[in-house]
Amino acid sequence: MTIDLRNDVVPKRLGNAALAGLPDAVERPTYDRGAVSPGIVHIGLGAFCRAHAMVYTDDVLQAGATDWGIIGVCLMSPAMRDALKPQDGLYTLLSRDNDTDVLRVIGAVLDVMVTAEQKSEVFELLCRPEIRIVTLTVTEKGYCLDGATGGLDETHPAVVADLANPTDPRSVPGFLTEALRLRRAAGQAPFTVLVCDNLAQNGIKVRNAVTRFASLRDEELGQFISQNVAFPCTMVDRITPATQDADRQKVANSLGIVDAWPVVTEPFRQWVVEDHFPLGRPDWERAGAIMAEDVLPYELMKLRCLNGSHSTLAYLSVIAGIEAIADAMMDEDLPKVIRRLWDEDLIRTLPPVPGTDVVAYTHDLEARFRNTGVRHLTLQISWDGSQKLPPRLLEAAVELYSSGRDPKVIPLTVAAWMRFLSGRNELGLDYVVTDPHAARLTSIAKDAGADAVKLANTLFDIREIFGDVLPANAHFRAEVIKHLSSLMSHGVRKTLRAFLDE
């Protein structure tokens, strides 16, 4: 059946009442959703968390837990609330392995709120004793960190605004501080803050940023948060592109009804969580999560090997006009570049990862990247390079140099990112550079024009991205400039050929 989403007559919509009538092949919650009470507030309701943490929690509810439902909170935009609320919080997860699709309706989200419109209700919710965990997926830039130091960026406009007006916060550190302050005033023990974004030591970094923000606001509140709030670290993994209209259509055709915001993802998922939840937690290990004492080795393996190679593929592909990761993996040279990135640069920076053969892990990554069922756009991965390059690759380069080795592929990725900032690909087509520093970065690229040395030198001066160590390293500068000159004058293909022949 094909459902015309443009039809004047709105077709039937996903929701509690529609569950029983779904096609048999569609998995769905069989637990009594009405009997589930909330235990988690999730901030930042994008595709990723709906394919990841919420699925683990849905598994736990499916296994019989009743007190770990999720209330989703969007900080600014009402779009996700407007999509999910009419569906009773239900949404479809379409997991795709090349040509094989599995559909599952997820029931863990009980309600969705928008802070910009419902500030007092959101804070009232966060003061309720049954809310014991606040999970977040707000992307790397959401935490207002300084890329070079990893600490709070005290000059960030949202941080400055929140310090001036702390009871009406716009930034995540400001929001968490205000919620924890109000909760303390209400006499409740603090909730646990579980940061599910791609930063190494994400719990520690965000704890430091929130504590710093709180101390700038009120020294004693900062001390309270530092001494009493748990911020466990976690490694999260599931490749989940932004939902496209074609995905909505595909899901509507399979369900026979409309889901306004389904999620498309891969079958693989991994979650490693530091087991530190003073007010308790769902039995996520029942759903396959690894509860660990030390998450760092897993975080480094995933951030560097998966996300680092993603960024490498993304910048080279956007410049070359290759649209999706699975297409990049069909290229004759790009898979060889990331193999060298793993073998020559990244694997040697990793500590042993319990129960994991890291080389086998990189071969599994290759297979995941080749999955043609998941159309992961290289332009989407290119977003926020100023935030992503330091934790994914630049920290590894610093470590390689300090152990007496030269990174081989990382300078090429950095050069590709610099070339990418021009906003025009090799086919002459323009694309948008999306980054919190986009205005500054693209104007640097414009001023430098065809001058690779000027472009690289001006960008190296941005301490929040490159820190102090790499720009002071003559080898790193020379390698980046060599690759950048080649990318700018000869293009991706010739640069990769020369590089792979080296």
Cα→Cα distances 96→54, 57, 166, 261, 277, Å: 18, 21, 44, 16, 33
Interface contacts to ligand CS2, rule CB under 6 A: 198, 237-239, 306-307, 310, 380-381, 388
Q: How far is the CB of 371 from ligand CS2 (least distance, A)?
A: 12
C-beta of residue 215 within 8 angstroms of C-beta of residue 221? yes
Q: Output the smallest distance, CB 269 to ligand CS2, in A.
A: 9
Asked if 284 contacts 60 with a C-beta cutoff of 8 angstroms, the reply is: yes
Check: CB of residue 44 under 8 Å from CB of residue 138. Answer: yes
Q: Are 274 and 292 within 8 A, CB to CB?
A: yes
DSSP state at residue 151: S
Residue 325, both tokens: 């990761």
* Segment (H or E) for 102: strand 100-106
Give the residue with the Cβ less far from ligand CS2, 51 or 179: 51
Residue with Cβ nearer ligand CS2 (224 or 271): 271
88 versus 395: smaller Cβ distance to ligand CS2: 395
Task: Kindly state the smallest distance separating residue 238's Cβ from ligand CS2, in Å.
Answer: 5
Minimum distance from residue 251 beta carbon to ligand CS2 (Å) = 20
β partners of residue 97: 100
Closer CB to ligand CS2, residue 50 or residue 217?
A: 50
Shortest spacing between CB 450 and ligand CS2, in angstroms: 29
Nearer to ligand CS2, 96 or 238 (CB): 238
- For the CB of residue 356, give the shortest distance to ligand CS2 in the complex, in Å: 16
Strands 100-106, 109-114: parallel, antiparallel or unpaired by DSSP? unpaired
**Minimum distance, C-beta of residue 341 to ligand CS2, in the bound complex (Å):** 14
Instruction: Locate 245 and state its tokens.
Output: 């209209």
Pick 266 or 331: Cβ nearer ligand CS2: 266
- Nearest to ligand CS2 of 381, 418 (CB atom): 381
- Nearest residue to the partner ligand CS2, using Cβ: 310
What is the DSSP pairing of strand 38-43 with strand 69-74? parallel
Q: Under a CB-based contact definition with an 8 Å cutoff, are residues 208 and 152 in contact? A: yes
* Residue 127, token pair as written in the block: 């003061």
